[in-house]
Structures are given as structure tokens and as C-alpha cells.
Amino acid sequence: MPLLIFGVAVVLVMRGLRYSYPHNIFGLCNVVTLVRAAMVAFLAGAVIDATVSGWLVFWVAAAAFSLDGIDGWLARRAGLTSQFGARFDMETDALLAAVLAMWLLATGTTGPEILVLGFMRYLFCAASFFVTPLRADLPVSFRRKAICVIQIGALIALLFPMTPEFLAAPVSIFAAILLCWSFAVDINWLLRRAT
């Protein structure tokens, strides 16, 4: 399973490089994001393998999360920023959140409400097939980036094996409310812009 997921990621990256990457070199920035994608693929395998240690899942997830932002910094430093790189980073973040939410649900750490934190982006993408204005580009937003950090940070806090059980619901609900609010702001902006 992890190799299949990583293989699909590599194919999508190659396609993106071919059609929307304006630079002649792949760059360390994209290598870092690709390493993060490999970590996410490993974590996806852990969802279906109950023998994987919770500590290992936590440390791999924390490493994948800690590398987020480094790729963007490297891209800016090397003059390799691109829409491809930003999209690659964003999709890696979205998949990380989805996989962590599934792991938390599969292990019984939280209930199905955790799926809000993992699948809100995919719900938004699905809605865009039916609501044309949702396909438009959004402006860069510090709010969106900050809430993404809170979202994945909350998931990783819930992964931490020593997090008290009574914190699971408040942490997930608080992060889910912020995430829903952020998506509502963006959806409202896109719909108003289309009228």
C-alpha cells in the first residue's frame, strides 16, 4: 500500500513537472516535499497495519509536519517558486491530514468527527465539480496557512501516545470549528466574486 501511494504521487509529480513547472531543475525544495510525500505514504500503510507502533506513527507524522515550510523557504531561496511547488506542498498537507485522521479513527483514539479535519479539503474539491465558482483560484492567505498548521498540529497532538483521552474531543472540535470557519470564509469570497 505505501509503495502504491508513493508511486501514484510520483506519477502525479512527473505530470505536474511536465505541464506546469517553469524551471529546469527539480530543486531541493521539491525533494523535501517528495520526502514528505513518502512519509505520508508510510503513514497510510500504518492505517491498515495494526502492528505499527503508535510512537513510530507519531514521530514520522511529526517529522513530515516539521518539514512543512522548509520546502517553501528553500524554493524562495533558490528562486524556484512555482504554482506547481505550492500545489505539491498543499496536496501533501491535505493527504497528511486525511491519513492522520483515518489512523486516529482506526485506532479508536477519536470518533468519526475527526474526519472533518482530514477530509474538508476533499469535500471542498468534490463540491467544486457541482459549483463552478469554487474552481476559481483563491488569493494567498495567512489565515488559511495558520489554520492548516493548527489543523495538522491538532491531529499530531492527538497522535501523541501520552495525550490524555479527555483532551481528544476539545482539541478536535476546536480545530474543526476553525477549519470550517476558514473554508466558509473562502467559499463566501468565491461565491460573492462570481456574482
DSSP 37-56: HHHHHHHHHHHH-TTS-HHH
Instruction: Take residue 180 and report the three cell numbers written for it.
Output: 470550517
Q: pLDDT (tens digit, 9 = 90+) per residue, 120-143?
A: 999 999 999 999 999 999 998 999
Residues 6+ apart with CB under 8 A from 137: none
Tell me the CATH number for domain 2-194: 1.20.120
Length of the chain: 195
Pairwise CA distance, residues 90 & 102, whole Å: 19
Where the chain has pLDDT below 70, the residues are none
